[in-house]
C-alpha cells in the first residue's frame, strides 16, 4: 500500500467506541467525529522491524492510519483531536470512495495533501533515520522545500505566511486598480510594496 514494502503492512482496526471510551470526548467532538468518520485502522508500520532504517530518538516508528470517511471532507478538528490523544508519529490516510488524501498534525497545524486516486499514491522513505524519513514524508505531500536552513516546523509557518501574504497582495492589487481617488490609490500601492518586500524576505 502507498508504494511501501509489504513488510510494513498490518491491519489493526481501531474501533471508534474504544476511542470514545478511552478519551471521554465531549458530545460535540463525538458527534463531529461520528458524522464524518466511518472506520479507523492502522494499515502500515514504518519501523526498524519492518524496514532497514534506524529509529531516531524522537521517532521510534511511524504509523499510517487509514481513516474511512462518510463525507468528502474531514474537519481538521478530527485530525488534531486524534493526534493529540494518541502519542505516536501518525500519518492519516483519509479515504472517501476511491480518492484519498494525507493529513498530519505538525507545528500545531493540520496539513493536508491534495486528493488523488488511492492507487496513485506512493510514499518515498528518504533519510538516514526515521526522524528524517518522517520529516521528508510530510514535506513531500505538503509541498514544503527543506533544502534551506529552516527546519520543517519553521518552513511550515513560513509557507503559511507566504500564502497569506500572496492572497493579501492580490486583494489589494485588485482594490488599487478599481480605486479612483489618487490619495487612496497611492496608500494601497504603498501597502502592496510593504507586503511584497516581506514576501521576498520569506523566499
DSSP assignment of 92-123: EEEEETTEEEEEEEETTEEEE---EEGGG---
List, as own/partner pairs, every contact residues 160-165 make where C-beta atoms lie below 8 angstroms and the sequence separation is at least 24, other chains included: 160/109, 161/202, 162/199, 162/202, 162/203, 165/195, 165/198, 165/199, 165/202
Residue with cell 478538528: 77
Between 182 and 48, the higher pLDDT residue: 48
The closest of 91, 5, 3 to 50, measured between CA atoms, is: 5
Residue with cell 471508534: 16
Question: What pLDDT is stored for residue 148 in this prediction?
Answer: 63
Q: Domain locations in the chain?
A: 6-142, 152-202
pLDDT of residue 130 exceeding 90, the answer is yes
Residue of 194, 90, 195, 104 whose CA lies nearest to 144:
104
**Bridge-partner residues for 104, per DSSP?**
111
The three three-digit cell numbers of residue 139, written as one number: 514535506
185-201: pLDDT as tens digits: 899 999 999 999 888 87
List the helix and strand counts (H, then E) for the chain.
6, 7
The average pLDDT across 46-65 equals 95
Closest C-alpha among 144, 66, 152 to residue 107: 152
- Mean pLDDT value across residues 9-33: 87
What is the mean pLDDT of the segment spanning 149-163? 80
C-alpha cell at 190: 504603498
The span from the CA of 78 to the CA of 84, in Å, is 10
Using an 8 Å Cβ cutoff, are 160 and 89 in contact?
no
> What pTM was estimated for this model as a whole?
0.79
pLDDT for res 85: 78
Tell me what pLDDT residue 56 has: 93
The β-bridge relationship of strands 62-69 and 89-96 is parallel
pLDDT tens digits for range 76-107: 999 998 888 778 899 999 999 999 999 999 88
Amino acid at each position: 500500500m502507498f508504494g511501501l514494502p509489504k513488510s510494513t503492512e498490518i491491519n489493526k482496526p481501531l474501533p471508534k467506541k474504544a476511542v470514545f471510551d478511552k478519551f471521554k470526548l465531549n458530545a460535540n467532538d463525538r458527534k463531529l467525529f461520528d458524522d464524518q468518520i466511518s472506520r479507523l485502522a492502522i494499515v502500515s508500520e514504518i519501523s526498524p522491524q519492518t524496514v532497514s532504517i534506524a529509529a531516531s530518538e524522537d521517532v521510534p516508528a511511524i504509523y499510517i492510519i487509514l481513516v474511512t470517511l462518510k463525507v468528502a471532507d474531514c474537519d481538521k478538528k478530527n485530525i488534531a483531536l486524534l493526534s493529540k490523544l494518541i502519542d505516536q508519529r501518525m500519518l492519516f490516510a483519509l479515504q472517501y470512495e476511491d480518492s484519498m488524501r494525507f493529513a498530519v498534525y505538525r507545528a500545531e497545524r493540520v496539513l493536508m495533501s491534495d486528493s488523488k486516486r488511492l492507487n496513485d499514491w506512493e510514499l518515498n522513505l528518504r533519510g538516514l533515520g526515521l526522524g528524517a524519513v518522517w520529516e521528508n514524508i510530510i514535506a513531500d505531500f505538503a509541498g514544503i522545500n527543506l533544502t534551506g536552513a529552516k527546519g520543517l516546523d519553521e518552513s511550515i509557518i513560513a509557507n503559511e505566511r507566504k500564502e497569506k501574504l500572496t492572497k493579501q497582495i492580490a486583494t489589494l492589487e485588485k482594490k488599487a486598480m478599481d480605486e479612483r481617488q489618487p490619495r487612496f490609490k497611492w496608500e494601497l500601492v504603498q501597502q502592496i510594496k510593504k507586503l511584497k518586500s516581506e514576501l521576498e524576505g520569506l523566499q
